[in-house]
Amino acid sequence: MYTIEMLPAALGDCLWIEYGDRNNPSRILIDGGTVGTIDCITSKIHAVAAREKRCRFELVVVTHIDADHIEGIIKLLGQPSLPVDIEEIWFNGNDHLPKPDERDEEQFLGGKQGDFLSALIRKRGLPWNTYAWNGGPVYVPPRSRGKLPKCTLPGGMELTLLSPTYKELLRLSQKWEDELTKAGLVGWEDEEILEALLASRKLAPEEEFLGEEDEGFLGDEVINVEKLVDAKKKEDASPANGSSIAFVGSFNGKQCLFAGDAYSPVLKQGVERLLEETNAMRLKLDAFKVPHHGSRGNIHDDLLATLNCHTYLISTDGTRFKHPDVEAIARLVGGKWRPNPKNDQPIQLHFNYRTLFNGKWDDEALCRDWNYTVVFPKEKGQNDDLDHGLMVSIEP
CATH code, domain with 49: 3.60.15.10
At 196, the pLDDT band (50, 70, 90 cuts) reads confident
Nearest to 174 by CA among 273, 242, 81, 258: 242
pLDDT number for residue 208: 56
CA separation for the pair 76, 56 (Å, rounded): 13
Inform me whether the pLDDT recorded for 213 exceeds 70: no
Inform me whether the pLDDT recorded for 214 exceeds 50: no
CA separation for the pair 395, 53 (Å, rounded): 26
CA separation for the pair 354, 368 (Å, rounded): 20
SS (H, E, C) 308-343: ECCEEEECCCCCCCCCCCHHHHHHHHHCCCCCCHHH
Mean pLDDT of 74-94: 95
CB 353 within 8 A of CB 346: no
At 340, the pLDDT band (50, 70, 90 cuts) reads very high
pLDDT number for residue 112: 67
- Structural domain boundaries, residue 8: 2-395
Inform me whether the pLDDT recorded for 371 exceeds 50: yes
Residue, of 96 and 391, whose pLDDT is higher? 391
**C-alpha distances in Å from residue 187, one per residue of 142, 183, 192:** 31, 11, 10
> What residues contact 124, with CB distance under 8 A and at least 6 apart?
77, 80, 86
For the entire predicted model, the pTM comes to 0.93
Mean pLDDT of 199-223: 60
Least confident of 164-178, 307-321, 379-393: 379-393
**DSSP result, 354-396:** --TTTGGG--HHHHHHHTEEEE-PPPP-TT-S-S--EEEEEE-
Inform me whether the pLDDT recorded for 382 exceeds 50: no
Q: What's the chain's Rg over C-alpha atoms?
A: 20
Helical ranges in the chain per DSSP H: 38-52, 67-77, 112-124, 166-183, 190-198, 225-229, 239-242, 264-278, 301-304, 326-334, 364-370
Query: For the chain, how many structural domains are there in total?
Result: 1
**Could you tell me how far CA 271 lies from the centroid of its own chain?**
17
> What residues contact 225, with CB distance under 8 A and at least 6 apart?
330, 333, 334, 366, 369, 370
pLDDT number for residue 380: 59
251-277 pLDDT, tens digit per residue, is 999 999 999 999 999 999 999 999 999
Using DSSP, state whether 244 is helix, strand or coil. coil
What are the beta bridge partners of residue 220? none
CA separation for the pair 310, 274 (Å, rounded): 19
Nearest to 395 by CA among 21, 94, 10, 8: 21
CA separation for the pair 166, 327 (Å, rounded): 29
Nearest to 218 by CA among 352, 338, 366: 366
